[in-house]
Chain A
């Protein structure tokens, strides 16, 4: 071992590096790039995700065409086993790297343990929930998990550190050095840094979960892939019909090197118990065999006694548990009456349908041009945790922007044509007279009206006696015109709680969440307010 290059192992390493690099490039490119339509296929890893495909199919019954790319991995898996895990999955590659860094041989490594069955249980649990229309697979789907963790916590932290360093250099008292840091900043901002510092609620929680999963790799090699990953479970089930098989001839001296390097815990060292559902086809075993006793062949014949440690009763329990959990989650009050803060991005489907699709990958939050899309905590019920909501005080919905719908892998947020997006109502602004400056202080302001982007402004003026009896214009929202974009709330000069705020009433997607104001003489469009 080590002194000769194994071509299969080398190819696997190159593949891992290439896909990881591609993943990072696409993640950084999940951002406005000067045109209305994104030019890079930024969600392609999600499109290729068989778990997202299957669980969305079960929960929503309909899928966007792009997701059918995932079906490519049906033949791949039948041919090569869990090659996706070992060769493609960027989260798998990270786990692989953390697992092996500085620890070449580990006698426990290649032994299949009982815990391996848990990933099948996790998969079936999520599919059980999906049966009731609750898409929960994204919580542990590796691609969704990685995009969410990196977008919402790791990359913002990297940005923060880099910005801090560059700012420090910029403020050095010597101008030539300051200018060098300034140039570096300009370059990095154009190619790597986010345009504005990204800030997300619960960032630390996402980081802890991410860090925890990676840390577990030091306890067991590729811990997540072996014991937790529902996509790994799904591909593992398919791999049992796999054609690529590990065989061993009788030159084997039982040195057990293969056991010490196996990434998946697939029992490469035992005569009869090699486990195709655990093997991630990393080729470490055959590459490390000093005798050349291990070989790979394509064969229909089964040569292993390895069993799937998931009995029928356990499988049914997992499915029932998922379904029952979904049933309990759906009793949340949030399912009966919309939380006022739950302003969904434009193009979002009706809430039930939305929750049957959204995998909480965080793509929409990553791409949101103003950073206003934030992960929910409880506003969509626990069932909808980490789904997107617009927090206008952090960032508003830019009038001419349709990026969130472009990156959504499951079309929970529909991709809207720009003309339709501009007319899509996501909420309604309300003036709070106790805080709005012209109302409360009798002082001119109207910053909200100034920024209102609809061609006919959804904020009009009414004149009232202001400070010193002088007339002052106060804002009035015209509900027929307001689309709830939240720029008024975002730009309101009151630094903390704005004097005008958006709630979700009036959203196009929910006919029950309407404010049916009277037409005729009390309609704000006919009322003689100067427009």
Chain B
């Protein structure tokens, strides 16, 4: 499926739609940052969207949803880069967030995932250094905090158990890592939000595009920051082989998760949005932008 992208796609050209979007004057902005370290790239990308104050207000309870799904190290690029998560947390606190909460419902054993992802360690070190341990919390999800939630207007998923802390948050910031995915072809912002779902998530794979649209229809994310520092291009989403990891060194950010996914799919994987079933479904459903032409790309 990604056969075409195995070689050379990283050199793929500038996306064709940015000019058209500017011409239309509507839609969403996607910032693409590169040239610095992962944390600094994240800061640059958010700054290019107008700064964190456009997304987080003083007193907000903010949930960060990185990918901590796998018992893998940062080098193996199955989980979000810890520096990116720390950078976003730092921005939220600087914008006056009352509390920043970080969690993911992992696929491998949760304690192993948390330990080897390096994310809790990085966040806790940052929090200790800045005396922010009581406002920046990273913790495991617990079964009893999943709440049956109805999804009005759902395509297929009329209700599901969703995590209380995400449902109660003032803002959710989605921080996926860009990866190859066997079923979804690529996993980006739309798919990453599955980490707030309880229950038997395997069953949503039978009709993944519709379920992801339903999930995002119910749970709106305020900002999506896609980590493409290192990208797993084969054997995703688990990986484990460093030969499958490419150093891409980019961060994509947008208020519109669909726009972020559209640009990241094309710029990282050389894939047209219409070739990724769940992105196409999200465009059709009008979750965010409804056409790739509505995207405006800003280099940061």
On whether the two chains bind one another, the answer is yes
Binding site for B on A (CB under 8 A): 32, 34-35, 167, 170-171, 185-186, 189, 195, 369-370, 398-401, 437, 441, 443-447, 449-457, 461, 473, 491-493, 495, 530
CB contact under 8 A between A171 and B71, given known A398-B109, A437-B206, A445-B206 = no
Q: How far is the CA of A93 from the CA of B206 in the complex (A)?
A: 56
User: Are A447 and B240 also in contact (CB < 8 A) when A398-B109, A400-B71 are?
Assistant: no
Q: Give the distance in Å from the alpha carbon of A461 to the alpha carbon of B235 in the complex.
A: 12
Interchain CB contact under 8 A, A450 and B109: no
CA of A170 to CA of B142, assembled, Å: 12
Q: A34-B111, A444-B206 are in contact. Are A461 and B182 (CB under 8 A)?
A: yes
Please give 14 more A-B residue pairs, beta carbons under 8 A apart, in addition to A369-B111, A455-B241, A473-B182.
A195-B110, A195-B111, A398-B71, A399-B240, A401-B112, A445-B206, A446-B182, A447-B205, A449-B183, A453-B71, A454-B240, A455-B244, A491-B202, A495-B200
The answer to whether A32 and B111 touch (CB under 8 A), given A186-B139, A530-B1, is yes
> For this complex, into which size category does the number of interface residues on chain B fall?
20 to 34
A493 touches B203 (CB 8 A): yes
Q: Does B116 contact A (CB under 8 A)?
A: yes
For the complex of A and B, list the 8 residue pairs with the smallest distance between their C-beta atoms, beginning with the closest.
A493-B202, A455-B241, A455-B240, A447-B202, A493-B203, A446-B183, A443-B206, A369-B109
Once the chains are docked, how many angstroms separate the CA of A189 from the CA of B116?
20
Give chain B residues whose Cβ lies under 8 Å from the Cβ of A450.
181-183, 205, 237-238
Residue of A nearest to B142 (CB): A185
10 A–B contacts from the bound complex (CB under 8 Å): A32-B111, A32-B112, A195-B110, A369-B112, A398-B109, A443-B206, A444-B208, A446-B182, A455-B241, A456-B241
A492 to B239, CA, bound (A): 19
**Counting CB contacts under 8 A, is B115 at the interface?**
yes
Given contacts A449-B182, A454-B240, A493-B200, contact A444 B109 (CB under 8 A): no
**Complex interface: chain A residues within 8 A of B109 (CB):** 32, 369-370, 398, 401
Among A400, A445, A452, the residue within 8 A (CB) of B112 is A400
Contact (Cβ within 8 A) B108 A444:
no
Task: Answer yes or no: B14 CB below 8 A from chain A CBs.
Answer: no
User: In angstroms, how far is the closest chain A Cβ from the Cβ of B106?
Assistant: 11
Given the known inter-chain contacts A186-B139, A455-B241, please indicate yes or no for A170 contacting B144, CB distance below 8 A. Answer: yes
Contact with A along B179-201 (1 / 0, CB 8 A): 00111000000000000000010
> Chain A nearest CB: distance from B166 CB in Å?
16
Q: Which residues of B contact A (CB under 8 A)?
A: 1, 3, 71, 107-112, 115-116, 139, 142, 144, 181-183, 200, 202-203, 205-208, 235, 237-241, 244
In contact, A453 and B240 (Cβ under 8 angstroms): yes
Task: With A32-B111, A530-B3 as known contacts, state yes or no: A444 contacts B183, CB within 8 Å.
Answer: yes
Q: How far is it, in angstroms, between the C-alpha of A401 and the C-alpha of B205 when the chains are bound?
A: 27
Chain B residues whose C-beta falls within 8 Å of the C-beta of A370 in the assembled complex: 109
Interchain nearest-CB distance for B4 vs A (Å):
12
Docked complex Cα distance between A123 and B110 (Å): 44
Determine the chain A residues whose CB is within 8 A of the CB of B241 once the complex forms.
Answer: 455-456
Give Cα distance in the complex from A368 to B291, angstroms: 49
Contacts of A443 in B (CB 8 A): 206-207
* From A167, A400, A492, contact of B116 by CB (8 A): A400
Partner of A452, one of B111, B142, B205, B238: B238
Taking CB as reference atom, which chain B residue is nearest A170? B144
Instruction: For the complex formed, measure the closest distance between the CB of A380 and the CB atoms of chain B, giving whole angstroms.
Output: 26
Return chain A residues, CB-CB under 8 Å to B240. Answer: 399, 453-455
Listed residue (A446, A455, A491) with the most chain B CB atoms within 10 angstroms of its CB: A455
Q: With A399-B71, A443-B206, A493-B203 given, is the CB distance from A451 to B238 under 8 Å? A: yes
Q: Which of A35, A401, A457, A492 contacts B202 (CB 8 A)?
A: A492
Contact residues in B for A369 (Cβ distance below 8 Å): 109, 111-112
Decide if B182 touches A398 in the complex (CB within 8 Å).
Answer: no
Interface centre among B181, B202, B239, B244, by most chain A C-beta atoms within 10 angstroms, is B202
For A453, the chain B residues whose CB sits under 8 A away are 71, 108, 238, 240
- Measured CB to CB, the closest approach of chain B to A175, in angstroms, equals 11
Closest to B107 in A: A451
With A and B bound together, what is the CA distance between A5 and B182 in angstroms?
73
Q: Is the CB of A491 within 8 A of B142?
A: no
Residues of A within 8 A of B200 (CB): 493, 495
Give the interface centre of B110, B142, B182 by most chain A CB atoms within 10 Å.
Answer: B182
CA distance A447 to B69 in the complex (A): 14
Cβ 8 A contact of B205, one of A445, A456, A457: A445
* Residues on B with beta carbons closer than 8 Å to the beta carbon of A492: 202
Which residues in B have their C-beta under 8 angstroms from that of A446?
Answer: 182-183, 205
**Does B112 lie within 8 Å of A398, measured CB to CB?**
yes
Task: Give the Cβ gap from B125 to chain A, nearest Cβ, in Å.
Answer: 15
A36 to B274, CA, bound (A): 43
How far is B107's CA from A456's CA once the two chains are assembled, in angstroms? 18
B203: chain A residues at CB < 8 Å are 493
Assess whether A455 is in contact with B235, with CB atoms less than 8 Å apart. yes
Kindly state the separation between the CA atoms of A429 and B205 in the bound complex, as whole angstroms. 20
User: In the bound complex, do residue B202 and residue A34 qualify as a contact, i.e. CB atoms below 8 Å apart?
Assistant: no
Q: Do A491 and B107 form a contact, CB below 8 Å, given A450-B237, A455-B235, A456-B241? A: yes
Q: Determine how close the nearest CB of chain B comes to the CB of A477; give it in whole angstroms.
A: 14
Which residues on the A side are within 8 Å of B181 (C-beta)?
A: 450
